[in-house]
Structure 1
């Protein structure tokens, strides 16, 4: 097994690779207060929610991983991207890959929150702030995380740069949303600018989403 993590694009990933990627993100996001928000306080749903996003990227976007070797269990970092011309759950195939199962198994209250509050609120916020087609024409980072024991070693930056190089080649902007002050600072160090933020409320608490972008001309 290689000791040097390598970023790679998973093309037609196996079920085992998608499962492992979801497990990595579930562990990376476990301390994040926003996990409580998106699961309605039932964090046992986090894995399914994250897996739905990963599977959507695998079907209709780009799924990048950081791996120590060739096996699914070697994956230690995950980035779910939607390159220009793609978006999350925009096709029946993407939704069938995981979203349908997650939302159908959610409680009525959580389902209502996702479908009639969170998704519409984020869609309106993003289009109002950036313009209707900005994220559709950009590299949009949907999910990103590294296993806790590998954090703070520059590996996340390595995984991010893997996609940034592709954005540079196509002269595409990059967009993302995050919720923690720490992540805002990390992305600012990578050249991102805060474009706005929106409060997000649920029956289990209140948080916020911060919208950040990086123009292709700012990519080194």
Structure 2
């Protein structure tokens, strides 16, 4: 629905992906060609909402991050910048090593219509980047807050490594987060 609490965040990730990353969709093969899945990826040396002034990053700040922050309460904005992002960045760096995320293909968003889950759509949206990453030896990484998503990531012959941590939200509730890495060579 248009009032889903995460709608602004998901929209901002797709806009950022269109401006500075890569967006892939899975669609039905019937005559209606309905989109049933979407993945937003950022390749090596690109991150969502990067403040660099090149390759669409300035546009990400204006058209993606700006509207997202405007949708947040002042309290949520303060938590996001002062608590969540610093802790998140430290967690990812400790899990992957300094610079590893920046040199990897990062899966920012992956969503599949519930009617089409467990039917291969997510795998297709991941495999397209696995092939790209394999050509350069880059890793794939993703962070997730749900154990179900940990299970969705394909294991691959080179394995998948994961690390988890618990965060405290703006309202005091805790939530887990996993960092998953997949080597491609």
Matched positions, count: 176
- Mapping of residues 81-120 of structure 1, within 5 Å: 81-90=41-50, 91-120=57-86
- Mapping of residues 1-220 of structure 1, within 5 Å: 44-68=4-28, 74-90=34-50, 91-187=57-153, 189-190=155-156, 191-194=159-162, 196-202=163-169, 203=171, 205-217=173-185
C-alpha distance in 2, partners of 1:50/1:208?
19
C-alpha offsets along residues 134-190 of structure 1, whole Å, 9 cap, x if unaligned?
011100111101011111112211121111111111211111111222222232634
Gaps spanning 5+ residues in structure 1: where?
1-22, 27-42
Contact 1:48/1:98 (CA < 8 Å) preserved in 2? no
C-alpha distance in 2, partners of 1:50/1:116?
21
Q: Alpha-carbon deviation of 1:73?
A: 7.2
Aligned to 2:53: none
Q: Moved runs in structure 1, 4+ residues, more than 6 A? A: none
C-alpha distance in 2, partners of 1:139/1:54?
16
C-alpha distance in 2, partners of 1:137/1:72?
38
Contact 2:166/2:174 (CA < 8 Å) preserved in 1? yes
SS in 1 for 2:102: helix
C-alpha offsets along residues 77-127 of structure 1, whole Å, 9 cap, x if unaligned?
011101011001003211212221111231111111211111111111111
C-alpha distance in 2, partners of 1:72/1:59?
27
Contact 2:41/2:105 (CA < 8 Å) preserved in 1? yes
Gaps spanning 5+ residues in structure 2: where?
51-56
C-alpha distance in 2, partners of 1:48/1:72?
27
What's the TM-score once normalised by structure 2's chain length? 0.86
Contact 2:49/2:64 (CA < 8 Å) preserved in 1? no
Q: Alpha-carbon deviation of 1:49?
A: 1.0
Alignment CA distance shift 1:72-1:140 (3 Å): farther
What's the TM-score once normalised by structure 1's chain length? 0.73
C-alpha distance in 2, partners of 1:51/1:192?
28
